[in-house]
Structure 1
Amino acid sequence: MAEKKKSSMISHGLAAQNRKGRFNYEILETTEAGIVLKGPEVKSLRLGRATITEAYAVERDGEIWLLNAYIPEYQGGVLSRFDTRAPRKLLLHKKQVVHYLDAVSRDGASIVPLDVHFNERGVAKVTLGLGRGRKKEDKRQHIADRDWQRDKARLLRNKGRYD
């Protein structure tokens, strides 16, 4: 029986994550958007080498674009050069674009890219969050709440062990 060759590429799953985005912003709602990529960019994403911690989304000509996302060049033998921090168009429905831009202009919210992943069909998607920036006190409270939840889970887990 022929054995399938294991690949180091991700066919579906998480390619990049912005953990600081959830810490620095209070995420009010999320949505999934498609992203326009070139072939070598997709291959590089599948290797999981992208970084979106410094990325942000803005409006240009009625469309939403992802800026400052780092996708390194693919080194798999293909000679192709592309800008690693090029602006990349995000694919959303017109109603979603209007909703997000309205929230940004009216409420002062920000569009934060939370992660880049591949769906079940192998298509690259970006999870966008509509977020409001946290103040320093809010961040401290968030850390305290997270620590308490971890300690509480530990106490409940160890509850019956020393009786």
Structure 2
Amino acid sequence: MREKKSRDLVTNRKARHDYHIIETYEAGIVLAGTEVKSLREGKANLKDSFARVEKGELYLYNMHISPYEKGNIFNKDPLRPRKLLMHRREIDRLYGLVKEKGVTLVPLRVYLNERGLVKVELAVAKGKTLYDKREDIKRRDAEREMEKAFKEYNR
């Protein structure tokens, strides 16, 4: 049996640092042809992007996709809102979760699935406080020190 593979095009590394991830969802995204080509070259940025439910539809904002070099008149605005594709039930569920105070929709990564379609991994997330971020850094440092000590002990 073939193993399913996906290829990451863009990741939002800052999201896991700034938010507690509650749930993740997969969504399709509506793109123009030149945007797909630019994404395949890795020329996109998810840094300050977020998703929002408007009039029963899901949109992704502030995702920057650089214009395709060979795209001329077919290039779109790099920061335009992009529609995300999900089932109605999932969008309604997300809307219910996001109505809660302090909860937002953050894209974690944009990737190609095994069929070559561009997908977005969306997370329902709650913002971390400065204290939480410091705790995470301390925990990671402690784990790193334990690994280092363990390797030296086993030599």
**Same fold, TM-score > 0.5, yes or no:** yes
- The aligned residue for residue 61 of structure 1 is 55
Match runs of 1:22-101 below 5 Å: 22-75=16-69, 77-79=70-72, 80-101=74-95
- Correspondent of 1:137 among 119, 123, 131: 131
**Residue identity matched to 1:64:** L
**Aligned mates of 2:107, 2:24 — CA distance in 1:** 9
RMSD: 1.5
Decide which structure has the larger Cα Rg and report it.
1
**Aligned mates of 1:119, 1:158 — CA distance in 2:** 41
The unaligned stretches of length 5 or more in structure 1 are: 1-11
Task: Give SS of 1:121's match.
Answer: coil
- Correspondent of 1:147 among 133, 141, 149: 141
CA drift at 1:116 = 0.5
Segments ≥4 residues shifted beyond 4 Å:
none
Aligned residues: 150
**Aligned mates of 1:158, 1:122 — CA distance in 2:** 44
- The aligned residue for residue 128 of structure 1 is 122
C-alpha deviations, 1:20-49, integer Å up to 9, x for none? 111110001101111000000000000011
Match runs of 1:9-28 below 5 Å: 12-28=6-22
**Residue identity matched to 2:91:** V
- Correspondent of 1:112 among 69, 87, 106: 106
Task: Give SS of 2:99's match.
Answer: helix
The unaligned stretches of length 5 or more in structure 2 are: 1-5
Identity %, equivalent residues: 40
Task: State the TM-score, normalized to the length of structure 1.
Answer: 0.87
**Aligned mates of 2:82, 2:111 — CA distance in 1:** 15
**Aligned mates of 2:143, 2:23 — CA distance in 1:** 23
Task: State the TM-score, normalized to the length of structure 2.
Answer: 0.91
C-alpha deviations, 1:100-134, integer Å up to 9, x for none? 11011135311011111111111101000001111
